[in-house]
Amino acid sequence: MADVEMKPADDKAKKEETKNAEKNKPEPPTPVAEIKSNAALIEKAVANIEPRFMHRVLRSLAALRKRLNDKVLYDAVNEIFPKGAYAYPRVRECNNHLFVDSAAKASLLSWLPDASSEDQSMEIDSADVAPAKAPSAEPVPEVEVYLRLLVLHHLLTSKDTYGKALQLAQETVQKIHALNRRSMDPIAAKVWFAVMRAYELGGELSDARPLFLAAQRTASLRHDDETQAALINQLLRSYLNYSLYDQADKLVSKTKFPVSAANPQYTRYHYYLGRIRAVQLNYTDAHNNLLNAIRRAPPPKTAPGFYQAVHKLCVVVELLMGDIPERSTFRHPVLEKALRGYFDIVQAVRAGSLSQFQATLSRHAATFEADKTYTLIVRLRQNVIKTGIRRLSLSYSRISLRDICVKLHLDSEEDAEYIVGKAIRDGVIEGRIVHEKGWMECGGQKSGYGPEVSEMFARRIGYCLELHNESVKVSFCVTACFVCTAHWCVLGYAVSSQCASQGAGCCGSAREREKELAKEIQEGELDDEDAMGGDF
Amino acid sequence: MAAQQLPVLYNELVRAFEARPSDLQKCGKLLAQLKVALIETGLLFPQGDHKLEDLVAARDILEIGAFWSIRTKDVPSFDRYFSQLQTFYNDYSSVLPPSKREYPLRGLNLIRLLIQNRIADFHITLESLPLPADELASNPYISHPVHLEQWLMEGSYSKVWNAREEAPAEEYKFFVDSLMGTIRNEIASCEETAYETLPLKDAATLLFFKSQSDLLAFAKERGWQVNLTAGTVTFAHKGEEKLEIPKEKLIMNDLHYARELEQIV
């Protein structure tokens, strides 16, 4: 019964929420107001043990981050923490909390410059923000950590405060550790990302590795999937940054990436995995992972850096597999400029011209090096030769080794003989070498109807079926989520199947809400993607 | 006790190693003693703070050990020494002065991976070298194995053959023999598919054999038919593979599709 009673209340809250959202649409709320409402949402999430609200807050993080400044944070901290916090700390069950709460505001404010005096800020507040009832109680620790996260992100925006950010990061991590609250996990995952950035910008990323490893262990013991996913990715990033592919591979094989991880984390994980596999010459796996990363990546316009980085690697891996990437990839507005060098390489490989390949390689060497794809591209040399030989074998039925040597710019006839021999053995071409006469005879082409055709079909069909099953799974999840968010709709019409037939109007509003949610998710996804973009 | 003994033994080892020709047997004995001493002083896998000269000495000992293993043709022992050196090269790189033996050893390690046909490991090691890509080409110790790998992969075996004399350090030549063995087998497998018959003389040049008897022994090993009167080698060809329809596999696939389709509909 309690269940039923709860729903109308929740229902009302929802309506208010949507109303608020509608009201706010014409002009977005000020950052301070947004932070405040987010704090309220976090309180609600903790009180109701409902992580949904928490995720909502975190989704807005990316957009909010860009609008932060010293004053906004200062005001937000002042408004969220009650005025009398120092003088009359509310008595809590736990002494520990008492200490944390009363000191929280002071410690938070200490990270912000005191440029704006309190009086000033109050004036502007009253103008900007609708008068809200003064908070009477200390906020929950989650709110404090959320504010710390905001401050941390803000400190990371300018070079002068990197040192401070690093200190704050260390302190925050200790705090999270000491509090050890499960309701904190989603925020903690975000905090870890910020911690990693702090280490990366402010010091040596490798210094943070023991810290991350320890935290990863703890997170996996506590089944804290979100933090675990975030930490695995950060460790991989740190390893790959120092080209420690061996360690990265060991980490991947020793850990299990949590299935319930969020999409952005999965995207990153696939990308890192793609890199590792490409270096290990396991191109098929690398290609699969990169394709997954591309599919899961946020829209190219919002996170161009990541999109470009994945495509660069993907183009090289496709070439190494012996495929030629699609032309349309290079015409994409986001990719066109970034992939210029790669396009030239693709052309050289397609033409099978070694000299063109070498010239392109030396011309774009700096770019490839910056992208960390140089060594991969150097490996393409043999593919260029193979393509060249293949073209020759298709167009001639008999060709002298001397001519092969000239056409492919090889150094000597002797080399040409070995190279052709190897190509025949590897099954690149069908043919024979007649040593006495010094020529190569090309055999007839294989007929196109053999068991390998069915194998090819089986592979493709398998892929399609998998795709279908995956999408069924996803759509099931979306429906489940839909039912959950839109249960007020179900409530009116008892059974969901009836609802579908009867309540077109009702579902219309629900659908709108759904759209809004989808948009939010999409926006939230980019959160730290764009921060990553620049460094690839 | 170990701490005082270490410098004495170390000096002795350096002297024994640098003597021309170096006293390999004595080096071996000293290395065994030194390793015990290193373990006792906690320098074999250093953790925390150690004196700089101690670390340098430990690194030198391990480096000499690695070279010593190559000279005594003990590859597994080289592997062990090299992995112990990793700590000094990677984790202490900011503290220790660079060692002039570091890149020769890294290069040797790359060649070792190449000879054992561990191409994936070769590339991983290459990627994790702390060198920018253009220096890979200019560093003689590293560019040698890099070129070897490239030539092996594209099939320019004659270049590999010619490069065997151009080894940048004495120790590289110890690997040449096994490298040539690898190449010969590669070439032989290519010849088996690419030619029907070959004159004996040409086969010998292609396989880099100086005398015919070597070639005959090699041909016997691989099961080639040698016709001495005509002076040709004939390669046994597997007859045209019979085209067989893998019935069982096709049926399995079809059943699988049927099941999946059932689910979709």
Question: Quick check: B198 contacting A, CB < 8 Å?
Answer: yes
Distance from CA of B38 to the nearest CA of A (A): 26
Count contacts between A and B (CB, < 8 Å).
111
At residue A114 the predicted structure's pLDDT band, cuts being 50, 70 and 90, is low
Q: Which residues are registered as beta bridge partners of B232?
A: B199, B227
Residue A479 has pLDDT above 50, yes or no: yes
Is the CB of A375 less than 8 angstroms away from the CB of B133?
Answer: yes
Is the CB of A458 less than 8 angstroms away from the CB of B159?
Answer: no
Is the CB of B119 less than 8 angstroms away from the CB of A281?
Answer: yes
In which element (H, E) is residue A361 found? Answer: helix A354-363
d(CA B122, CA B113): 6
At residue A533 the predicted structure's pLDDT band, cuts being 50, 70 and 90, is very low
Apex B164 CA angle, B161 and B166, nearest 5:
130
The winner for highest mean pLDDT among A58-62, A63-67, A359-363, B218-222 is: A359-363
Strand ranges of the sheet holding B232-234, from the earlier edge strand across to the other edge: B197-199, B232-234, B225-227
Segment A338-364 mean pLDDT: 87
Per mean pLDDT, which range of A17-21, A163-167, A288-292, A408-412 is the poorest? A17-21
Residue A301 has pLDDT above 50, yes or no: yes
Segment A465-491 mean pLDDT: 70
Tell the burial category of A218 from Cβ atoms under 10 Å away from its Cβ (0-12, 13-18, 19+).
Answer: middle
**Looking at residue A510, what is its pLDDT?**
59
Segment B19-46 mean pLDDT: 73
Residue B37 has pLDDT above 50, yes or no: yes
CATH of A393-442, one of 3.30.70.20, 3.30.930.10, 1.20.1560.10, 1.10.10.10: 1.10.10.10
Residue A461 has pLDDT above 50, yes or no: yes
Beta strands in B79-221 (DSSP E): 197-199
Apex A281 CA angle, A278 and A287, nearest 5:
45
Of B196, B161, B167, the C-alpha closest to A441 is B196
Amino acid code (one letter) for B112: R
d(CA A20, CA B103): 66
**Looking at residue A244, what is its pLDDT?**
83
Residues of A in contact with B86 (CB under 8 A): none
d(CA A236, CA A424): 40
Residue A437 has pLDDT above 70, yes or no: yes
d(CA A219, CA A221): 5
Q: Which residue has the higher pLDDT, A289 or A95?
A: A289
| Interface mutation vs chain B, best among A206, A363, A389, A435, most B CBs within 10 Å | A435
Comparing alpha-carbon positions, the chain A residue that sits nearest to B207 is A418
Q: Which residues are registered as beta bridge partners of B207?
A: none
Is the CB of B158 less than 8 angstroms away from the CB of A244?
Answer: no
**Looking at residue B73, what is its pLDDT?**
79
Residue written as token pair 């319930």? A260
Segment A76-102 mean pLDDT: 49
Question: Quick check: B264 contacting A, CB < 8 Å?
Answer: yes
Distance from CA of A37 to the nearest CA of B (A): 45
In percent, the amount of chain A with pLDDT more than 90 equals 5
Query: Domain map of chain B by residue range?
Result: 1-99, 199-265
**What's the complex ipTM?**
0.73
Of A434, A334, A339, A423, the C-alpha closest to A383 is A423
Amino acid code (one letter) for A448: G
A414-432 confidence digits (pLDDT tens): 888 888 888 888 877 888 8
Of A251, A271, A247, A206, the C-alpha closest to B124 is A247
Is the CB of A425 less than 8 angstroms away from the CB of B193?
Answer: yes
Give the distance, in angstroms, between the CA of residue A138 and the centroid of all CA atoms in the same chain. Answer: 35
A218-241 confidence digits (pLDDT tens): 888 888 888 888 889 888 988 888
Residue written as token pair 């170096």? B22
Question: Quick check: B191 contacting A, CB < 8 Å?
Answer: yes
Mean pLDDT over each residue of chain A, to the nearest integer: 73
Residue A10 has pLDDT above 50, yes or no: no
Give the distance, in angstroms, between the CA of residue A39 and the centroid of all CA atoms in the same chain. Answer: 25
Strand B225-227 relative to strand A398-400, pairing: unpaired
Distance from CA of B189 to the nearest CA of A (A): 7
Q: Residue A60, Cβ neighbours under 10 Å: how many? A: 18
Comparing alpha-carbon positions, the chain A residue that sits nearest to B255 is A458
**Looking at residue A269, what is its pLDDT?**
93
Residues of A in contact with B198 (CB under 8 A): 435
Apex A107 CA angle, A104 and A111, nearest 5:
135
The winner for highest mean pLDDT among A159-168, A324-333, B215-224 is: A324-333
Distance from CA of A310 to the nearest CA of B (A): 19
Distance from CA of A488 to the nearest CA of B (A): 31
List of residues 6+ apart from A380 with CB closer than 8 A? A316, A319, A320, A345, A349, A357
Per mean pLDDT, which range of A114-118, A253-257, A298-302, A328-332 is the poorest? A114-118
**Looking at residue A486, what is its pLDDT?**
55
**CA–CA distances in Å: residue B14 to residues A313, B19, B61, B174:** 47, 8, 8, 21
At residue B91 the predicted structure's pLDDT band, cuts being 50, 70 and 90, is confident
Is the CB of B124 less than 8 angstroms away from the CB of A420?
Answer: no
* CATH (residue range B1-99): 1.25.40.990
List of residues 6+ apart from A410 with CB closer than 8 A? A354, A385, A404, A416, A419, B156
At residue A119 the predicted structure's pLDDT band, cuts being 50, 70 and 90, is very low
Strand B232-234 relative to strand B197-199, pairing: antiparallel
Comparing alpha-carbon positions, the chain A residue that sits nearest to B254 is A458
| Interface mutation vs chain B, best among A422, A460, A464, A466, most B CBs within 10 Å | A422
d(CA A64, CA A76): 13
**Looking at residue A1, what is its pLDDT?**
36
Distance from CA of B27 to the nearest CA of A (A): 32
Is the CB of A368 less than 8 angstroms away from the CB of B134?
Answer: no
**Looking at residue A286, what is its pLDDT?**
92
Residues of A in contact with B257 (CB under 8 A): 461, 465
**Looking at residue A218, what is its pLDDT?**
83
Q: Which residue has the higher pLDDT, B42 or A7?
A: B42
Query: Domain map of chain A by residue range?
Result: 29-128+136-203, 283-379, 393-442
At residue A287 the predicted structure's pLDDT band, cuts being 50, 70 and 90, is very high
Residue written as token pair 């590897």? A426
The full length of chain A comes to 536
Of A425, A527, A432, the C-alpha closest to A189 is A527
Residue A128 has pLDDT above 50, yes or no: no
Apex B169 CA angle, B166 and A381, nearest 5:
50
Is the CB of B153 less than 8 angstroms away from the CB of A382?
Answer: yes
Mean pLDDT over each residue of chain B, to the nearest integer: 78
Apex A385 CA angle, A383 and A391, nearest 5:
100
Apex B113 CA angle, B183 and B29, nearest 5:
110
At residue A111 the predicted structure's pLDDT band, cuts being 50, 70 and 90, is low
**Looking at residue B192, what is its pLDDT?**
82
**Looking at residue A514, what is its pLDDT?**
66
The winner for highest mean pLDDT among A465-474, B12-21, B126-135 is: A465-474
Question: Quick check: B156 contacting A, CB < 8 Å?
Answer: yes
CB A356 within 8 A of CB A387: no
Residue A25 has pLDDT above 60, yes or no: no
CB A518 within 8 A of CB A52: no
**Looking at residue A274, what is its pLDDT?**
93
Comparing alpha-carbon positions, the chain B residue that sits nearest to A239 is B128
Is the CB of B158 less than 8 angstroms away from the CB of A415?
Answer: yes
d(CA B150, CA B169): 20
DSSP annotation of A114 reads -
Residues of A in contact with B123 (CB under 8 A): 279-281, 375, 379
The token duo for A162 is: 């990197």
Question: Is B211 in a helix, a strand, or coil?
Answer: coil
Please, where are the H alpha helices in A242-380?
245-254, 263-279, 283-296, 304-320, 340-351, 354-363, 365-370, 374-378
DSSP annotation of A140 reads P
d(CA A279, CA A276): 5
Residues of B in contact with A249 (CB under 8 A): 124
d(CA B178, CA B112): 10
Per mean pLDDT, which range of A157-161, A195-199, A496-500 is the poorest? A496-500
Distance from CA of B110 to the nearest CA of A (A): 15
d(CA A146, CA A38): 9
Within 115-154 of B, beta carbons closer than 8 Å to A belong to: 119-120, 123-124, 126-130, 132-134, 136, 150, 153-154
A378-399 confidence digits (pLDDT tens): 888 888 888 888 888 888 888 8
**Looking at residue A511, what is its pLDDT?**
64
Residue A160 has pLDDT above 60, yes or no: yes
Residues of A in contact with B159 (CB under 8 A): 411, 415
Residue A363 has pLDDT above 70, yes or no: yes
Distance from CA of A148 to the nearest CA of B (A): 33
Out of B127, B198, B253, the one facing A435 most closely (by C-beta) is B198
In which element (H, E) is residue B213 found? Answer: helix B212-222
**Looking at residue A207, what is its pLDDT?**
75
Out of B129, B158, B194, the one facing A433 most closely (by C-beta) is B194
Is the CB of B190 less than 8 angstroms away from the CB of A424?
Answer: yes
Comparing alpha-carbon positions, the chain A residue that sits nearest to B186 is A422
B105-121 confidence digits (pLDDT tens): 888 888 888 888 888 88
Residue B166 has pLDDT above 90, yes or no: no
Residues of B in contact with A422 (CB under 8 A): 154-155, 186, 190
Question: Is A498 in a helix, a strand, or coil?
Answer: helix
The token duo for A37 is: 């409402």
